[in-house]
Structure 1
Amino acid sequence: MANTDSFIDEVSEEVRRDRLFALFRRWAWLAILIVVLLVGGAAYLEWQRAQNQASAEAFGNAVLGALDNDSPEARIAALEAVEAPGDAAALVVALLAAGEASANDGTAADAAAGLRAAAMAPELPQIYRDLAIYKAHLLSPLPADEARLELGILAEPGRPFAALAEEQLALIDVIEGDIEAAINRLRSLENAAAATPGLQQRAAQLIVALEAGATLVDTAPVEEEPPVVEPAPEAPAEDAETGTGEAADAGAEDAAPEGEDDGGDTAGDAVADEETEAVVEQ
């Protein structure tokens, strides 16, 4: 019985070993593939992370280098030359250029156009898109009808800049002379939950001013026209040495007749006689 049991155990062990080897031969490639995929995926993710970090560092260094220029024009030109690695980075560059253009009136329209173009990126988050459009409106507003359409989208409930866009719409109403509509918008801003205390205070102050009859005044500097310089009269065509001198001599002869010359000599003789008498008296 003992020999029989040992023989059965040996056969069973051989059977299990054969089954295990068969399983390995059947599924070993799958296990190796899983290991290769795990190692390769981890290596690819690490490489991609390193590439993104290097790209971000290069982009940051380029932006900092552009901002190191002295004049706003040079900074704007350098920012336009920066290659953005993505839509969000392109919007950051556009916002920085707009910040530089706000102090430089000559490039405000170009900066606003760049912001509006950057806001059209499809993968850009909504808050950044609204920020770009609002900043573009502050830099270079569109005509009233187009500005209403642009700001109307930003003023929709739930948008991050809805209250600020509503304030700009009220200002457009004031510019167009619709004071009642502007006051209604401003009163809604006073009670809006999304409005900040500063915005509510501005709305209240503007309501008081509009109800008192105040109007907007254009504070833009008026360009003065340069003074008109009239040309000097042309000199007579006569020779300077002959004609002009002769005319002067003729005028002098007409202005001083012969009697005045005698009077001048008489007056001189009288002064001389008075001096002689004073010397004699002394």
Structure 2
Amino acid sequence: MSDSDSFIEEVTEEVRRDRLFLMFRRYGWIAIVLIVLIVGGAAWNEYRKAQERAASEALGDGIIAALAANEPADRAAALGEVTADTPGGAAVVNFLIAAAEVNADETAAAVARLNQVATDGDLPEIYRQIASFKALTLQADTMPAADLRVQFEALAQPGAPLRLLAEEQLALIDLSEADVEAAVTRLQAILDDAEATSDLQQRVSQLMVALGATPQVPSRIQG
């Protein structure tokens, strides 16, 4: 390599370094900001997880302490003092309060509380449907059968999470109206459903036998 070529290469390398230094001065702050954001984001994520974990533990401790009360009315009152930071946590507390209210013979208060959960649009559907289902079962002896039927039919729509339990309640309504044939047909349909749990299958079969019908057990269950 000639001296001129060597000189040109050195100058070119120096120019490259100067350009790189200039670019770093102009845009290096972006890399620094990105690093700060990444590190800060990771730290915030860990902090948020720790806060959520602490809140969940506090909620659990509060519930356990409240449930230690001997009398249902005292449990309901103690649970009412428990604070939940999320809609789901609040729904769980309300379910427990409603159960305590039922045990304290305050069914009307429990129904009102459950209906409040059932109409809370911030909650996932499963919470709202459980609340609605429980509220209806608590009113099985007081609400007109026609009204019960309409509301349980709404819970028994295809794809609904509690549809088979709602169908079971509809069969009981059939029986309350002395329509044994309709009840048996509905119970057999539950038994045929692939999503029926073993406990539900057992209840349905026992009820059918009590009604003088013979449950047709699907081969998938027999096997």
Measured against the shorter chain, the TM-score band is 0.7 to 0.9
1:157 aligns with 2:144: no
Output the CA distance in 2 between the equivalents of 1:40 and 1:201.
Answer: 55
Letter in 2 for 1:111: A
Residues 208, 43 of structure 1: alpha-carbon distance in 2 compared, 3 angstrom cutoff: closer
Partner of 2:181: 180
Q: Is the 8 A contact 1:87 1:118 kept in 2?
A: no
1:36 aligns with 2:54: no
Residues 194, 2 of structure 1: alpha-carbon distance in 2 compared, 3 angstrom cutoff: closer
Residues 4, 170 of structure 1: alpha-carbon distance in 2 compared, 3 angstrom cutoff: same
Count of aligned residue pairs for this structure pair? 211
Output the CA distance in 1 between the equivalents of 2:52 and 2:208.
Answer: 51
Output the CA distance in 2 between the equivalents of 1:92 and 1:27.
Answer: 52
- CA offset at residue 80 of structure 1? 1.9
Output the CA distance in 2 between the equivalents of 1:42 and 1:197.
Answer: 45
CA displacement, residues 65-110 of structure 1 (integer Å, 9 cap, x when unaligned): 2112121100011112222211111121122223323433x21221
Which range moved further: 168-177 or 136-145?
Answer: 136-145
Q: Which has the higher contact order (CA 8 A, sep 6+)?
A: 2
Letter in 1 for 2:42: A
- CA offset at residue 15 of structure 1? 0.9
- CA offset at residue 197 of structure 1? 4.0
Letter in 1 for 2:9: D
Task: Pick the structure with greater CA Rg.
Answer: 1
Output the CA distance in 2 between the equivalents of 1:198 and 1:53.
Answer: 34
1:18 aligns with 2:34: no
Q: Is the 8 A contact 2:118 2:132 kept in 1?
A: yes
Partner of 1:126: 125
Residues 145, 84 of structure 1: alpha-carbon distance in 2 compared, 3 angstrom cutoff: farther
- Name the TM-score, length of structure 2 as normaliser: 0.82
Residues 169, 7 of structure 1: alpha-carbon distance in 2 compared, 3 angstrom cutoff: same
Partner of 1:50: 50
Q: Is the 8 A contact 1:90 1:118 kept in 2?
A: no
CA displacement, residues 193-249 of structure 1 (integer Å, 9 cap, x when unaligned): 23334433433443454459xxxxxxxxxxxxxxxxxxxxxxxxxxxxxxxxxxxxx
Which range moved further: 22-31 or 140-149?
Answer: 140-149
Partner of 2:68: 68
Output the CA distance in 1 between the equivalents of 2:196 and 2:29.
Answer: 63
Output the CA distance in 1 between the equivalents of 2:203 and 2:209.
Answer: 10
Letter in 2 for 1:139: L
Letter in 2 for 1:33: V
Q: Is the 8 A contact 2:171 2:186 kept in 1?
A: yes
Partner of 1:261: none
Q: Which runs of 5+ in 2 are unaligned?
A: 214-223
- What is the root-mean-square deviation of aligned Cα atoms in Å? 2.3
Identity across the alignment (%): 48
Q: Which runs of 5+ in 1 are unaligned?
A: 213-282
Aligned to 1:109, what secondary structure does the other structure show?
A: helix
Which range moved further: 41-50 or 121-130?
Answer: 121-130
